[in-house]
Structure 1
């Protein structure tokens, strides 16, 4: 069924990528459609089970999945369950509220009016990070690497990591803590060894191997950036389809020490296209971003175009804004070593082939 639908859409819309969702399928479904974890129950146990189910789907070759936020059947989710589910879904491949109740009630973002602003904020954060999530989707389609995975998959040599933990990675740059137990707001987690981790909420760097305990409140979203990475985000936070995706912000997370570069030589692989044409060579731009050490507390972020759109496929000029920003304690400099500031914006009418930014400074708060 999925293959037949895929073939029919390809025939009806030549040159456009089909977008299908199927609730079931056999091995190979990932070639034609995404899926979700079925008619889940509105319960805290199911919510936690769904996180594990999603990671297992990714490990089994099905990277595009999701869960009905708040549960599809069962009682109306209480305030805690709805917010925890929204927090968890921000970096997952799919973020959808979908429900059926015998009394006709519906799970919606405004189910608890006093929490609407929190849920709206979670949705805005997801919109912001969709550029990164899109890069993860491309990587999954090309290499089979899950978009959301157990931390142990990214760090297989760290035998201290628990395989049954709900801590997880979104790609190789963002670490997401497991949700608290029901009725609690405290989380404990162990950071993977040998990597420095940046907490953007509190502007603190933590050493790998540290065990953290912290409060995870209902109205916030917690995650950690891997030092030595670059995170693509959308600068204009608007609903997809209502505006041009022409403004990006790259969150530069400099290395805290040389080992951050050694363990992850490529800081970012970023692609851009029209979002609907067949994703084939010549239909997208791609850049590789790498750090090099220039001196003490001084790095150069080198950005190199590795793929470009063929002239025959390039129906529009590359009119985009790229903004780069660094954490507190760092400054950006241009190729002539002139200080730019904590952020810089480039207006491009052509896709950049090479770009270099000098990053100087240190993290202001290093734990321990």
Structure 2
């Protein structure tokens, strides 16, 4: 594959993604798998990743926003599809007509989806979300009996079918945290209340990536891996991707835009937070915070250039940053690898997360649209759509 004409690119390994789906399915053999492809598949490209996940045996797809779900349908992606982040006045009817399962966490949302079902002249597929302790979306336990009873009444009227009941962990990425057992118990209670209201959902689900990997008691009928799908460990303190049979899917690289000798005492980038200790060679990497490179990693972000790990010299700018090569040589056009699987000695997204004081989820998700995605399958470049 020839990327020599590209300033920068994010290579997306669809073979690795499919293998990750297989590994995650093996972690929860008694459950289906929802591949979460929200946020443009965590920056990897929603449509190609959704298709690859389905090919590998994912039984559902998951998005946050209805716009994401509708974009999948517009691209011709079929199968079961859930979206969960709704606001009043959202495109409920379009979602109902596109056979998208919609999440309801409150009576206002139930009213809106019922109205959309009447307008569309078809039954809406609805999943009820319980707040079992996370405190974000989801229905509070005090309001849950009323919501489940109202949902059952809407079912009886033929307006909706409750296809699922679900929740989300707050601290599953901290194995052993006391909230985990409490939230599982709260979910079991929510299921019992729903059953008492007469609801019989197709799927019950709670496990995110860390739940899928470390909490078999949370698997229920369906697991919802997100970041693990893309080969990033959600519990790096427990193990890296390889420990769970996963492989990072994204490699971020660029071509050096400049290589030059400078004297000692030369300031580098805004604010001169880095000054060369002696005569040296500086190389310019044409990626910056407008592309998603964290400015917080100024002075600490790792990059593989000329066969060695280097560190960002000085501040990350909007479009570029500098590395000090010391006595090593390089040429404009040489490859700089910010992160990847680590096979070639390059840093990983987790290394960048440590450098920036964040999580690897953010590192891959923030890579912007100025960086083209290049898709490979079995080592060969393939179309992205």
TM-score, normalised to structure 1, is 0.24
Structure with the greater relative contact order (CA < 8 A, sep ≥ 6): 1 or 2? 2
Q: Which structure features the higher share of helix residues? A: 2
